[in-house]
Amino acid sequence: MEGAWLQFQLTIAMAIVYTKPTWELGVIKSLSIFSGNSIPTIAESVCRYIDVPMGKSTLTHFADGEIYAEIGENVRNVNCFVVQSTCTPVNQSLMELLIMVDALRRASAGSIVAIVPYFGYARQDRKSKPRTPITAKLVANLMSAAGCDRVLSMDLHAGQIQGFFDIPFDHLFAMPVFIDQLVARGYTENTVVVSPDAGGVERARAYSKRLGATLAIIDKRRSAPNVTEVMNIVGDVKGKKAIIIDDIIDTAGTLTNAAKAIMDAGAKSVSACATHPVFSGPAIDRIEASPLTEVLVSNTIPLRENAKASSKIKVTSVGNLLGEAIKRIHHGDSISSLFI
């Protein structure tokens, strides 16, 4: 009996010796970060911040255009994060995300978190007319059905989109990154923060509070989709440095009309700050022809070539902010404390 017990102990000891090299080689991991094709630069900066290598994966297309994904490493019981903005081309970016999530789920990943810095279809958050879809809710359902355990996004166009998900949703704000940039540019004295519409007042108020600035609101009337007419300004902008705060710049019609109205009201200068640089259609031409001195944006969406050539467009990275959020999710720490 004693000999059998000794043999059992020897077997266990040998097993420990033989498995130890795999730990040293890092085969057993607890966190992996994967990237889609929409914003690989953010995924790379996140990996640098957390100090982990990029997860191995392949995203290709078949001859007929179908997307094919393959995970190139063991992810069993690993917390996996997929970094992908659902930006232009929107449908392809969304499908890449869903297919990668499905591949990870079928590979027995411990958890799957979709890191979606820019959430496409966010502006279709309600029925604006009879017999129209609520596409933001549809996208939320697709992410859940694909296998996401949690979703993280930045500066949603409508905060209520968080409620479209039946899984945990973390809503980040680019404000801490932008505040540092604005302070460095001198937007602390004689400054007015301007909301381009009533819906953005809460966001603008948060900026004005941290900058010690006053607040103004643009009263606008939208005559058609992507067409706006500025009516008047609620608040005092005369003789002040104005900074327009928004979540997204699409065709830049609202932004440039607001900038003109602000300068007509006697502002000393006007700049803009927005998280998501969609820059569709005539956006850059409008910005170049406007009185805006500078437009500060983040890298949640890759800049178009004409935007890169503009001297007015300045890009700041949110990679470290996303990296810190991923670390906190992985370790079960608070994310909301990032914005206190």
Residues classed as catalytic:
220
How many Cα neighbours within 13 Å face the side chain of 99? Answer: 19
* C-alpha to C-alpha distance for 24 and 209, rounded to whole angstroms: 50
Query: 327: burial class by Cβ within 10 Å (0-12, 13-18, 19+)?
Result: middle
Helix (H, G, I), strand (E, B) or coil at 20: helix
How buried is residue 166: exposed, middle or buried, by Cβ count under 10 Å (0-12/13-18/19+)? exposed
With 0-12 / 13-18 / 19 or more C-beta atoms within 10 angstroms meaning exposed / middle / buried, residue 228 is buried
**Tokens standing for 128?**
């604006």
- Cα–Cα distance, 121 to 145 (Å, whole number): 17
The helix or strand, by DSSP H or E, that contains position 317, with its residue range, turns out to be none
- Do 287 and 312 contact (CB within 8 A), yes or no? yes
